[in-house]
Structure 1
Amino acid sequence: MKNGLEDVIAAETRLSDVDGPAGRLIIRGVSLDDLVADGTYESVAALLLDGLLEAHVNAEGLKERLGAARAEIYAYVVADATLLALPPVDAMRALIARLPDGEDFETAFRLLAAPAVFLPAVLRIQRGEAPVPPTASISQAADILRMMTGRLPSVEQTAALDAYLVTISDHGLNASTFASRVIASTHAGLTSSVLAAISALKGPLHGGAPGPVLDMLDAIGAESHAKTWLAAALDRGERLMGFGHRIYRVRDPRADALKNALKPLVATGQVDRSRITLAEAIEKAALAMLKERKPDRPLDVNVEFYTALLLESLGFPREAFTGVFAIGRTVGWIAHAREQLLEGRLIRPKSVYVGPFPIAA
């Protein structure tokens, strides 16, 4: 037995391979670098879902059906006072819970569209603004930004969000994906699988750390303060947000993909260059300090560090970061749920009882 199921194989999958020692992520035979360089959310969604919903799914057909699904989902947007008092990811999850459950491709497309529609609507309503209806003819990434801001995004902004959604679309058998597969194995339905996955994702040990990266940047404030602040944090035994990963023993490949996705925004003046310069200085100082203080632990930059900077540059508030993560990861959850339905069986691991036994009279 291994605590936390460390290294225990619980499923066979054709969807993604996470090679921690090599720092490599492969999604259905394609490297992350190639996916981000050439892909959009629609292309990676078609890649993941191909053969799992229908015999063949292509990016252009998926884009059209996804646009129609966003238009359909908008009817479920409500301004319920109790619901809108919740944190954005909880409000988004509550709205998704109102959708019909099922295992077919109509359910799958509604679920792909739902967080993309609900999260911008919740953010606007919580700011006292009217929600913006989706536009079916544009891409998922462009429509998310348009529904949040009320205006069409720039080409660079759309490409940056596409890069993020592609980068976090799937990542092996992480906690939320495993939750999705467990629920799918009971044949409860795809909506139930996605709701379980969101519930796992919002835990701070899984999807809740990008926001604190910005808190760290704000607290440091200037490059000259970086070493002093980082040293004091480590002296207090605190974790440096955005560094270290359960699987990767070298640099998280997703970190560089997102760092590169920020460059066009910086080059065109659409993001505060000084903010990126500060982040790079903190990254450099933190890596040197971690190597010196923890030489036996491979701690490098993870996906959360540049996720925080990218989502901030696109105008997402920090409390919405987990919800944006869910928008991108839902396609992976659905693909794994469908794979489990088609090829797996009821997931029912065994536990080892370590409690007391009755005392014989």
Structure 2
Amino acid sequence: MFRKGLKDVVAVQTAIASVEGDTGELRYRGKLVDGAIENRSFEETAYFLWNGEFPAKSQYAELKAEFTKYRKLPGYIEGIAQELPKDMLLMDAMRTLISAYATKEFSALPVIKQAAAITAALPVITAMLYRIQTGQQIIAPADHLSHTANYLWMLTGKEPAPAQTEALETYLKLTMEHGMNASTFAARVTVSTESDMVAAVTSALGTMKGPLHGGAPSGVIDLLNEIRTANNLDRVILTKLDNGEKIMGFGHRIYRTEDPRSILLRQKCLELQGHDDWLDLAVDAEKRIVHLLNERKPGRALYTNVEFYAAAIMRSIEMPPELFTPTFSIARIVGWTAHIMEQQSDNVIFRPQSEYVKN
């Protein structure tokens, strides 16, 4: 049976994650995502997706030590970065540097260590490339900072406020994995040929670059910038509705109820109320926008998607738009590497058929 774009075709059985659009449930390894990430760090959540269980104390200490070790990039990686054209898109430059990890020495590592190494390295690579492209001095990683805090430190040279780190880390944990999306499928197809993890992640990064998949929440940023204060909410939203404009950050192609990631990001913003003006604005704006949408579009059940609160978090930490998709990739690399290892464990090459049609 022909399905354009393989829509609704089941090509993989996986134990990593499930996405239930009708009930609004996202599960990591069978656990609802809120239970999987609650009181867990980025590293612990990554370990869970890779191994199917949370790390014991000694395993967690070992993993954190590995993440710290692999923040220090090989010298040749920085050398390549310095030679790349300054007008390359960040996603293209990131893909180039990750592909350069395909050395005999790296390929000889156990695949779980390869996963940890490139997951730890990707935010360092991203921050380094961003600062090179913007004419700023590269900032060395800070061993005393967490994975997320170190990323923000290397971007700005300032230790981030705890509220900013907490909000961004919640976003990263919630977007690590989301089923058989385009970039994950690309990674699995590549490694199904018995290629390697580096090649598969390179394929995934190339796929994530496309705006139909890794599109940044810039439209929501524009909306929040336009609203700016709660006093402007009704005027801005009603004008857009009168003009037939789409309210960015509302509605999702898969979820028919609230996006569970949006719910959890909202909760995090509520916990952090009073610590950041942009997070406060997002919470106030969502309540009012949902009310106005229900008034104007009764029965449509338009809920916030993950991009709405992601945009608020990005705005609160003053992250420039060119870093949105790279930051999404810094999270999703955990899911990619988990799927790569799962594919390797029971591999069959992907070989769908095509149907010839006359022009």
Corresponding residue of 2:333: 330
What amino acid does structure 2 have at the position aligned with 1:326?
S
Change beyond 3 A, Cα 1:5–1:161: same
2:297 maps to 1:261: no
- Aligned pairs for 1:59-98 within 5 A: 59-73=60-74, 76-78=77-79, 79-80=81-82, 82-98=84-100
Structure 2 Cα separation of the partners of residues 224 and 128 of structure 1? 38
CA apart distance, 1:72: 3.5
**1:350 equivalent among 331, 335, 353:** 353
| Aligned residues with identical type, % of pairs | 38
Given that residues 169 and 328 in structure 1 are in contact (C-alpha distance below 8 angstroms), is that contact kept between their aligned partners in structure 2? Answer: yes
- Aligned pairs for 1:20-99 within 5 A: 20-50=21-51, 58-73=59-74, 76-78=77-79, 79-80=81-82, 82-99=84-101
CA apart distance, 1:346: 0.6
What amino acid does structure 2 have at the position aligned with 1:283?
E
- 1:208-229 residue CA offsets vs partner (Å, 9 max, x unmatched): 1312210122234444554454
Number of residues paired by the alignment? 350
Stretch moving more, 164-173 or 229-238: 229-238
What amino acid does structure 1 have at the position aligned with 2:90?
P
2:324 maps to 1:321: yes
Return structure 1 stretches of 4+ with deviation > 6 angstroms.
none
Structure 1 Cα separation of the partners of residues 299 and 184 of structure 2? 30
CA apart distance, 1:132: 1.4
Corresponding residue of 1:160: 167
Stretch moving more, 290-299 or 304-313: 290-299
Change beyond 3 A, Cα 1:290–1:266: closer
Change beyond 3 A, Cα 1:160–1:221: closer
**2:122 equivalent among 115, 119, 126:** 115
Structure 1 Cα separation of the partners of residues 5 and 243 of structure 2? 26
CA apart distance, 1:169: 0.9
Structure 2 Cα separation of the partners of residues 73 and 140 of structure 1? 18
Given that residues 184 and 190 in structure 1 are in contact (C-alpha distance below 8 angstroms), is that contact kept between their aligned partners in structure 2? Answer: yes
CA apart distance, 1:86: 2.2
Corresponding residue of 1:19: 20
What amino acid does structure 2 have at the position aligned with 1:347?
F
Q: Secondary structure at the match of 1:44?
A: helix
- Aligned pairs for 1:150-299 within 5 A: 150-231=157-238, 233=240, 238-267=245-274, 269=275, 271=276, 273=277, 275-291=278-294, 294-295=297-298, 297-299=300-302
Q: Secondary structure at the match of 2:224?
A: helix
Change beyond 3 A, Cα 1:175–1:227: farther
CA apart distance, 1:235: 6.0
Change beyond 3 A, Cα 1:282–1:263: closer
Structure 1 Cα separation of the partners of residues 227 and 173 of structure 2? 31
CA apart distance, 1:327: 0.5
- 1:156-187 residue CA offsets vs partner (Å, 9 max, x unmatched): 33322321221111111111111111111112
Given that residues 183 and 207 in structure 2 are in contact (C-alpha distance below 8 angstroms), is that contact kept between their aligned partners in structure 1? Answer: yes
Given that residues 91 and 206 in structure 2 are in contact (C-alpha distance below 8 angstroms), is that contact kept between their aligned partners in structure 1? Answer: no
What amino acid does structure 2 have at the position aligned with 1:175?
A
Corresponding residue of 1:359: none
Given that residues 157 and 265 in structure 1 are in contact (C-alpha distance below 8 angstroms), is that contact kept between their aligned partners in structure 2? Answer: no
CA apart distance, 1:40: 0.8
2:140 maps to 1:133: yes
What 5-or-longer segments of structure 1 have no aligned partner? 357-361
Structure 1 Cα separation of the partners of residues 186 and 244 of structure 2? 31
CA apart distance, 1:60: 2.6
Q: Secondary structure at the match of 1:65?
A: helix
What amino acid does structure 2 have at the position aligned with 1:135?
A
CA apart distance, 1:144: 1.1
CA apart distance, 1:281: 4.3
Change beyond 3 A, Cα 1:206–1:234: farther
CA apart distance, 1:105: 3.5
Structure 2 Cα separation of the partners of residues 212 and 66 of structure 1? 34
Given that residues 14 and 28 in structure 1 are in contact (C-alpha distance below 8 angstroms), is that contact kept between their aligned partners in structure 2? Answer: yes
- Root-mean-square deviation (CA, aligned residues, Å) is 2.8
**1:304 equivalent among 294, 304, 307:** 307
TM-score (norm 2): 0.87
- 1:80-132 residue CA offsets vs partner (Å, 9 max, x unmatched): 36433223333222222222164733432332122211111122223322111
- Aligned pairs for 1:137-152 within 5 A: 137-152=144-159
CA apart distance, 1:146: 1.9
CA apart distance, 1:11: 0.4
CA apart distance, 1:246: 1.6
Structure 2 Cα separation of the partners of residues 74 and 264 of structure 1? 41
Structure 1 Cα separation of the partners of residues 263 and 235 of structure 2? 26
